[in-house]
Amino acid sequence: MPIVFHQSSQTFHLFNQEISYIIKILPSHDLGQLYFGQRVHDKDNFDYLLELAHRPMSVCYFDGDLTYSREHIKQEYPVAFTGDFKQPAIDILQQNGSRILEFEYHHYEIIQGKEKLKDLPATYTSNTHDATTLKIHLHDQLLQLDLVLSYTLFEKLPVIARSCTITNRNHNSIQLNRLMSLSLDLPDSQYSLLELTGAWARERHITERPLCQGLQAIASLRGHSSHHFNPFLALKRENTDENQGEVLGVSFVYSGNYIMSVDVDTYHTARIQAGIHPETFSYTLQCGESFQSPEALIVYSQQGLNGMSQSFHHLFCQHLIRGPYQHQPRPILINNWEGTYFDFNEEKLLNMAEKARELGIELFVLDDGWFGKRNDDTSSLGDWYVNKEKLPHGLSSLSQKVHQLGLKFGLWFESEMISKNSRLYHDHPEWVLKTPHRHISHGRNQYVLDFSNPEVVQYIENMMSDIIAESQLDYIKWDMNRSISEAYSHYQKEQGRLYHEYILGVYRLYEHLIQKYPHILFESCASGGGRFDPGMLYYASQTWTSDDSDAVERLKIQYGTSVVYPLATMGTHVSAVPNHQLKRNTSLQFRSDVAYFGTFGYELDILKLNKKEQQIIKEQIQFMKQYRQLLQSGKFYRLKSPFQSNETAWMVVDDQQTTAIVGYYRVLQEVNMGYRRIPLYGLDPDRLYTILDQEYYGDELMQIGLIVSDESCGENHSDLGDFQSAIYVIKEKK
């Protein structure tokens, strides 16, 4: 049993082969955090970790005792204004104006497996033996509030999933203004803070800063998790690198406004928190009402960042992603967006589909512009019926013809949005999020529908269902192309609920469609990677990684994204040159060598390809079909960072260590450089492997490295030029 309660010392110890998490019921009846990290032996008592020194100038809890101060005792779920003084986990405004809370331990439960989170995405277990859950019930006697802290320990992973629920049992209502999903006190702050930051078309770049005293945070107030700060942070030790050293990663399973912070006090202890952003959150709970927090995931690794990422990848692939493609290779697709933009008709699309089939592509995706009167981005969002001028025979006819070619058929929607120039806006202007008598800003000429209103969601669901049924969709790209501003709901009585209820509306629509059409592959998108988060992955098993399809830029974006997200979730397309975002020219080979490490597809006008290019693409598709199982579900190692040098390298290895693929990229040509070797990881040191016709032992490839020198080493007249890449297939010699 990996969760033990030691009655004599009132201590919970959650442990598996890799980690330990220790909580104690304190003399003040609340919970103290004693330890989180690499697994330690279980024993009856860890009380020495309370470290009670004399604290004359601090606020102390017990009369006549100068040792027991909440400022110094590490708290498991801190409340505000009772002597702790760091960021609280919970804040409730009471009817008399007080915000003081006293949650005392009440009882606990241990459950085999993991319960679902009501209305929210969360990790799950398909087999109850995969995880054990501890639920600690706390109670505020004066307010008659129940607080349940939930901890799921995964059997074979260094992961704890946390969430909490609060229930009001009193006849007086309360106003819940803050409810963190996770609060974790660490005994020191000798870490640097690693984040995935960026902007549109520059998502999830790795940035690092030393932790320093004070509050440091990442957050989104945009209504979606955002391009700017991914809902993830890691604390890493000074000597930690990709392959060794201690790191602790936190990922938040939520797609709306959030905050993740580290609060370092003057004694150099660090408090990590993750939760819904309190700035746009306020819920009145009447008697009997509950609020469920989203889930936060903590991963611990002693094997550096790669170790942490591999745990996240495993967790997401086995316990978060659902649907028909969870364990299936993703279909190789062609998306018409960069190939045609809004300018297409049935004939053009069918010619593209025909050519796609010839090249070996499996899924044809029709992007924006198929509905209403949509010929540019100024109209028709909300009018989800076919544009007969472009598609005179309707979508069902197009879809049928695509299916007859032997391809699957997919469609783009942007369900949460509305254009002023639309029938829907004409009929229901009150469905737009808009503050009365105030200016309303647009984003890409569009406005946001009030998805906190069930009637709106139902209406959109009906329209989407009609289209799905009529056109027999196999795939949906679900876009969201603007942040929310001037938010106000005509439906909500309490505006503090709006942002959270909005994202619950999005989740509900996804869930209904998944239940009705379980075969559909969903790909989420928000102007590229503006909502690439674990919440979305619960519904949509892949995400369009970025609107920047330039292969050089993609090195950084995909490298950064892989810190948390598995390759099977990253939409990666080969697009045209000059690249549409940067005007850069790279070879077809370089573009596909980058795109192989993802779901893989094409986004260009394939009718413009010459014979040679068509042949190259055919071969790329054959390669991808042969190796995609490995590429999308193998163990992924980052080898060389584009953030640190001119080169990038990464690799995947299968579970049996029989096959591996290395991707190596050298961005700019250099002159008279040194020789280059890249040590590999994850192979069996004792097995003999082949690369082309050369043989190497695993230990050679890992200790000595793979030679990746090219003509830029030692010569200055190489005609290779910029943007070179190589794919090395490594096979165990039979």
Site for ligand GLA in 401-430 (CB under 6 A): 412
- Distances from the Cα of 419 to the Cα of 378, 488, 583, angstroms: 7, 17, 30
User: In which element (H, E) is residue 647 found?
Assistant: strand 647-653
- Going by C-alpha positions, the residue among 477, 481, 467 that lies closest to residue 416 is 481
Rounded to a whole number of angstroms, the minimum distance from the CB of residue 527 to ligand GLA is 5
In the complex, minimum distance from the CB of residue 457 to ligand GLA, in angstroms, rounded to a whole number: 21
Select which of 263, 265, 367, 479 is catalytic: 479
- C-alpha–C-alpha distance, residues 72 and 58, integer Å: 9
Shortest approach of ligand GLA to residue 338 CB, angstroms? 8
Q: State yes or no: is 547 an active-site residue.
A: yes
How open is the CA angle 279-285-291, to the nearest 5 degrees? Answer: 70
| Contact map string, positions 308 to 347, toward ligand GLA, x by CB under 6 A | -----------------------------x----------
Residue 124 vs 371, nearer CB to ligand GLA: 371
User: Can you spell out the DSSP letters for 11-32?
Assistant: EEEEE-SSEEEEEEE-TTSSEE
- Give every CB contact of residue 420 below 8 A, 6+ residues apart in sequence: 445, 447
User: HEC profile for 62-106?
Assistant: CCCCCCCCCCCCCECCCECCCCCCCCCCEEEECCCCCCCCCCEEE
Please pick, from the candidates 18, 242, 368, 605, the single residue that binds ligand GLA as defined by CB under 6 A. 368
Candidates 17-25, 71-79, 151-159, 521-529: pick the segment binding ligand GLA (CB under 6 A): 521-529
Asked if residue 679 has a cis previous peptide bond (ω within 30° of 0), the answer is: no
Neighbours of 620 (CB within 10 A): 23
Cβ closer to ligand GLA: 82 or 527?
527
Q: What is the DSSP letter of 713?
A: B
Q: How far is the CB of 366 from ligand GLA (least distance, A)?
A: 10
Q: Which is nearer to ligand GLA, 76 or 479 (CB)?
A: 479
Q: What are residue 37's DSSP bridge partners?
A: 20
Question: Look-up: residue for tokens 């049992």?
Answer: 169
Whichever of 18 and 533 has its CB closer to ligand GLA, that residue is 533
Q: Which is nearer to ligand GLA, 269 or 378 (CB)?
A: 378
CA pair distance 24, 12, nearest whole angstrom: 6
Helices and strands per DSSP (H, E), number in the chain: 12, 39
Q: CB of residue 337 vs ligand GLA: minimum separation in angstroms?
A: 5
Catalytic residue among 91, 263, 367, 547: 547
DSSP character at residue 269 = -
> Is 479 annotated as catalytic?
yes
What one-letter code names the amino acid at 80? A
Judged by CB under 6 A, the stretch of 122-130, 149-157, 290-298, 524-532 that binds ligand GLA is 524-532
Q: Which residue number, 84 or 416, has a Cβ lying nearer to ligand GLA?
A: 416
> Is-contact 343 389, C-beta < 8 A?
no
Nearest approach in angstroms of CB 482 to ligand GLA is: 10
Residue of minimal Cβ distance to ligand GLA: 368
Tokens of 290: 């509950």
| Distance between CA atoms of residues 43 and 11, nearest Å | 10
Both tokens assigned to 400: 């049928």
525 binds ligand GLA (CB under 6 A): yes
CA 393 vs. chain centroid, Å, equals 39
**How far apart are CB 163 and ligand GLA at their closest, in Å?**
31
In the bound state with ligand GLA, the residue whose beta carbon lies nearer, of 481 and 669, is 481
Cα Rg of the chain, angstroms: 27
Whole-angstrom distance, CA of residue 616 vs CA of residue 614? 5
Nearer to ligand GLA, 309 or 380 (CB): 380
Q: What is the rounded CA–CA span in Å between residue 327 and residue 48?
A: 46
**What is the contact mask toward ligand GLA in residues 204 to 233, using x (rule: CB under 6 A)?**
------------------------------
What would the x/- binding string for ligand GLA be over residues 533 to 572, using CB under 6 A? -----------x--x-------------------------
Cβ proximity to ligand GLA, 183 vs 387, nearer residue: 387
Minimum CB–partner distance for residue 479 and ligand GLA (Å): 5
Least gap, CB of 204 to ligand GLA (angstroms): 15
Q: Which stretch binds ligand GLA (CB under 6 A): 2-10, 133-141, 386-394, 523-531?
A: 523-531
Alpha helices in 292-406 (DSSP H): 304-319, 337-340, 346-359, 394-404
Q: Taking CB under 6 A as the rule, which mask of x and - marks residues 471-500 in contact with ligand GLA?
A: --------x-x-------------------
Query: Max Cα separation, the chain?
Result: 88
CB 338 within 8 A of CB 604: yes
The span from the CA of 522 to the CA of 464, in Å, is 13
In 167-221, which ranges are continuous DSSP H helix?
Answer: none
**Of positions 76, 367, 450, 553, contacts ligand GLA by CB under 6 A:** 367
33 or 545, CB closer to ligand GLA?
545
Read off the tokens for 487: 């938010």
Q: How far is the CB of 432 from ligand GLA (least distance, A)?
A: 19
Q: Which residues fall within 8 angstroms of residue 59, CB to CB, at 6 or more apart? A: 69, 70, 71, 83, 85
At its nearest, how many Å lie between ligand GLA and the CB of residue 481?
A: 5
Q: Which amino acid is at 485?
A: S
Judged by CB under 6 A, the number of residues near ligand GLA is 11
Of the pair 532, 637, the CB lying nearest ligand GLA is at 532
What letter represents residue 569's amino acid?
Answer: T
**Comparing C-alpha atoms, which of 334, 365, 349 is closest to residue 624?**
334
Q: Which stretch binds ligand GLA (CB under 6 A): 42-50, 392-400, 514-522, 525-533?
A: 525-533
Give the residue numbers marked as catalytic. 479, 547
Residues that bind ligand GLA (CB under 6 A): 337, 367-368, 412, 479, 481, 525, 527-528, 544, 547
